[in-house]
Amino acid sequence: MKQYQTDLASLILRIALGVMFLAHGLTKLLVFTPAGTAQFFESLGFPGVVGYLTIVFEIGAGTLLLLGILTRIISLFAFIQMVVISFIHSVNGWSFSNTGGGWEYPAFMALTAVSLTLLGSGRLSVFRGKI
């Protein structure tokens, strides 16, 4: 595979994952509100602070991925988050359209994140490096 193809693949994955994280983080911030998000996380058995941290991570990660900053590190953390979410949603079945959301979407996002962890930022990024 030629280098420009790898760089383009990385850019496409960074945009896809970055937009998804931004959209989910902003939804938690602006629609569900931070307090509502914390309350939801508490209903799942997590401390409410995890909801706040999730908002910060998703908005920050989305922004950094779009810019190509710390791509491998952010993608690795995103992979871990999506694996955890996949397990949480696994009780709802496969399809994300199931009541409560299944695990198909978070599993796909986990695979996207791990692929980006392996690819890195590519040359079409702010750092244009391996980070």
pLDDT 10s digits, 45-87:
999 999 999 999 999 999 999 999 999 999 999 999 999 999 9
Residue 127: predicted pLDDT: 73
Residue 79: predicted pLDDT: 98
Of the chain, the percentage scoring pLDDT greater than 90 comes to 90
Calculate the dihedral angle through the C-alpha atoms of 53, 89, 31, 60, rounding to the nearest 10 degrees: 40
Residue 38: predicted pLDDT: 98
Residue 53: predicted pLDDT: 98
Residue 96: predicted pLDDT: 83
User: Is 60 exceeded by the pLDDT of residue 130?
Assistant: no
Average pLDDT over residues 76-104: 93
DSSP, residue by residue, the chain: --HHHHHHHHHHHHHHHHHHHHHHHHIIIIIS-HHHHHHHHHHTTS-HHHHHHHHHHHHHHHHHHHHTSSHHHHHHHHHHHHHHHHHHHGGG-S-TTSTT--SHHHHHHHHHHHHHHHH-S-SSSSS-S--
Class of residue 8 by CB neighbours under 10 A (exposed 0-12, middle 13-18, buried 19+)? middle
Residue 93: predicted pLDDT: 93
Average pLDDT over residues 74-103: 94
Q: How far apart are CA 61 and CA 17, in angstroms?
A: 9
Report pTM. 0.91
Residue 100: predicted pLDDT: 87
Residue 68: predicted pLDDT: 95
CB 3 within 8 A of CB 119: no
